[in-house]
Structure 1
Amino acid sequence: MTPRVLRCALLDDFQDVASGIVDWSPLAGRVSLTAFREHAGSEDELAADLADFDIVVTLRERVPFPASLFARLPKLRLLIASGMRNSVIDYAAARAHGVTVCGTASSSTPPVELTWALLLGLARGLVRENTALREGGPWQSTVGADLHGRVLGLLGLGKIGSRVAEVGRAFGMDVIAWSRNLTDERAAAAGVRRAATKEELLGGSDFVSIHLASNEGTRGLVGAAELALMRPGAYLVNTSRAAIVDQDALLAALTGGAIAGAAVDVFDIEPLPADHPMRTAPRLLATPHLGYVSRDNYRRYYGEAVEDIVAFLAGEPIRRLD
């Protein structure tokens, strides 16, 4: 008897590249692929879309998999998340419903590079100047902010934060960092100074960049009171997680001119609704969560997803998260 061909869903394949960026032939004849280019707007829609799938490959933490969703997907047997950490999957529910959860490697290089693209674009008004040049607007309408000799404050000094610090030093910036568990020794090893408090870092930096994981200790870490500590000429960059910064407080700070500007790659709702105020906020450079989106990273995600599926079919799952 010929074994049933399993169905695999590739979620949020916005650029329609998942099925072609790596070699899926090891699954030929055993697994069929279906890519979803549109994001499911609700759990009801997602449950309907995935009802007949045995395997799901999801990107980052955009799609929650709570217990209620697992209960509505009786055919699901394997869930693969890009990266080796995912806070929106209910692992206990996955186990209870017989679903194996696996991950993939994820590079810290793309978010480091995007952080600097955003910081530089923000500092030199690149979007505004490019738009003016293309549309026949004024020739030079902004005065750029300098990096050399300025203070770069990093909230978080892990893999990504440390590499952002390295680039900052190359620009001749004075780099300081803070997190709850950061030590003087760890800061010194990264070539930066440790700020004694979060408040000291926010009040003493010309540019603040966030590189923390989202958890109970960091959600809402930067709110109205913290933004009020920043210098009027300072800039905020967030390529980490939206929940770390109070979105309403950030909008108010930008609208009122309390800070010079912000650059963000992450939002409280993704994809961002057409009428979301972040789309029209002043002094804001925004990108649609591109931090992880690069050719090499996608090859890593989907290439290891293939490996995960092959191992699962062999009865020996690898890179398990559950």
Structure 2
Amino acid sequence: MPTLVIQNDHIIRALSVILDPDCDAERITAFADYYSVDMPEFPEWCEQIRKKYPAVAPSRVILTNSQEEFQQALQDADAVVVEDFIVGVEELSLAPKLKFIQNFRTDMRNIDQAACSAKNIPALPFHRTVNVAVGEHAFSLMMALAKKTVETNKLLTIESLKAEGWPAREYDRRHTANSNWARISGVKNMFGSTLGIVGLGSVGRYVANWANAFDMEVIYTQRNQLASDLETQFKARFVTLDELFQTSDFVSIHVPLNDSTKGLIGSQQLESAKPGIIIVNIARADIIQKEALLAALETGRVGGVGMDVHYKEPGDADDPFLPYKKVVMSPHIAIGSRINGAVDMESMIKNISEGIDLK
């Protein structure tokens, strides 16, 4: 039975449910419930996967919660799956049986690929279907706010528009066209505008590609600047966080929540932001300081906010963001269909199976 040592991420740990016969029954039940939204047949699907990939089903799956735990478990590892744990010379020296490395992201900076090649151990990036869905959701929120499609949804009469504060009335048709007789002001173009991406990682890169298709200028910020070839590939220019907010028409947040990113964006950035800026957050709410965001909405400095992640989930009926018409909120659905997750799990299991079989 192969041994898989994996980073104990809340998504990756599904591998233990699918492949490890000793997985805790409570966890199996919890994942069946999690997938039931779109896949009520999840238990049957797991069984099909086990039959399809006998090289890794069954497997002993070891979940590790830190780099140190990961290193301690490598002695028996046939394959590893990591998201941001490092696999370098030291880790490879601790893993005499290692045959395959799966990174759960496209960014391979946490893997010493030269050291892996020297030991003839394949190390693969992973293009997550889920990340595409999350990026799509971010872009859809940007467009909904730019085009005011949610704010004006089903307001088709002069009376209903006026009730919402719009000065709707027809134009003099003897002389002009009648488009936008609703007199909705502030509709923005994507074309020619500037998108600032906070974190040009796996999800942010999809968003950058779509922004390029709309002929938007793309700037980005993160802890470390990307190599010039990647900047060229995504047509993105590196700037500071403050400059990004001062010059962007749209900002999309794509960094993980940790000690260095909690409260990363606050009054300093929001008060000096380009007037009317639209901010979309599908990462984690606490990356933006709540009170500072509310204040910027109240003053009008921020022209719109799209949120799929919230300061409390499930939320409250008196959530302070609800009264703002220029805020679009969805209930943490950016990840899309659970089928996306199942596709990712099977793709990863297939990679591991083939990687182990090659040895």
Same fold flag (TM > 0.5): yes
Structure 1 residue 18, shift from structure 2 partner: 4.0
CA contact under 8 A between 1:129 and 1:141: conserved in structure 2? Answer: no
For residues 97-176 of structure 1, what are the structure 2 equivalents within 5 Å?
Answer: 106-107=128-129, 108-133=131-156, 137-138=160-161, 140-143=182-185, 144-176=187-219
> For 1:122 and 1:162, how far apart are their aligned partners in 2?
21
Answering whether residue 258 of structure 2 is matched by residue 215 of structure 1, we say yes
Partner of 1:248: 291
> For 1:134 and 1:213, how far apart are their aligned partners in 2?
43
For residues 45-124 of structure 1, what are the structure 2 equivalents within 5 Å?
Answer: 106-107=128-129, 108-124=131-147
CA contact under 8 A between 1:242 and 1:267: conserved in structure 2? Answer: yes
Percentage of pairs with the same residue = 30
Matched residue pairs, number? 237
Give the AA of the match of 1:110.
A
Partner of 1:23: 44
> For 2:273 and 2:40, how far apart are their aligned partners in 1?
45
> For 1:207 and 1:163, how far apart are their aligned partners in 2?
15
Cα gap change, 1:224/1:112 in structure 2, threshold over 3 Å: closer, same or farther? same
1:123-180, Cα deviation, whole Å (9 max, x unpaired): 0000122141399723635231011111111111111111111111110111111112
**Any gaps of 5 or more consecutive residues in structure 2?**
1-23, 49-64, 66-80, 85-102, 105-125, 162-180
Give the AA of the match of 1:121.
A
> For 2:202 and 2:308, how far apart are their aligned partners in 1?
18
**Secondary structure of 1:277's match?**
coil
Cα gap change, 1:206/1:191 in structure 2, threshold over 3 Å: closer, same or farther? same
**Secondary structure of 2:302's match?**
coil
Question: Larger Rg: 1 or 2?
Answer: 2
**Secondary structure of 1:129's match?**
coil
CA contact under 8 A between 1:255 and 1:282: conserved in structure 2? Answer: no
Q: CA RMSD in A?
A: 3.6
Give the AA of the match of 1:193.
R
Cα gap change, 1:111/1:6 in structure 2, threshold over 3 Å: closer, same or farther? closer
> For 1:247 and 1:84, how far apart are their aligned partners in 2?
32
Answering whether residue 30 of structure 2 is matched by residue 10 of structure 1, we say yes
> For 2:324 and 2:45, how far apart are their aligned partners in 1?
42
**Any gaps of 5 or more consecutive residues in structure 1?**
28-65, 67-82, 87-102, 312-317
**1:290 aligned to which of 333, 336, 339:** 333
Cα gap change, 1:267/1:15 in structure 2, threshold over 3 Å: closer, same or farther? farther
**Secondary structure of 1:154's match?**
strand
Cα gap change, 1:183/1:16 in structure 2, threshold over 3 Å: closer, same or farther? closer
Answering whether residue 245 of structure 2 is matched by residue 225 of structure 1, we say no
**Secondary structure of 2:306's match?**
strand
Instruction: Give the structure-1-normalised TM-score.
Output: 0.63
**Secondary structure of 1:128's match?**
coil
Structure 1 residue 200, shift from structure 2 partner: 0.9
Answering whether residue 182 of structure 2 is matched by residue 182 of structure 1, we say no
CA contact under 8 A between 1:205 and 1:231: conserved in structure 2? Answer: yes
> For 1:129 and 1:14, how far apart are their aligned partners in 2?
34
> For 1:254 and 1:18, how far apart are their aligned partners in 2?
39
CA contact under 8 A between 1:218 and 1:244: conserved in structure 2? Answer: yes
Instruction: Give the structure-2-normalised TM-score.
Output: 0.57
Answering whether residue 292 of structure 2 is matched by residue 269 of structure 1, we say no
> For 1:140 and 1:13, how far apart are their aligned partners in 2?
43
CA contact under 8 A between 1:238 and 1:266: conserved in structure 2? Answer: yes
CA contact under 8 A between 1:157 and 1:182: conserved in structure 2? Answer: no
1:216-251, Cα deviation, whole Å (9 max, x unpaired): 111111011111121112111111111211122111
> For 1:232 and 1:15, how far apart are their aligned partners in 2?
43
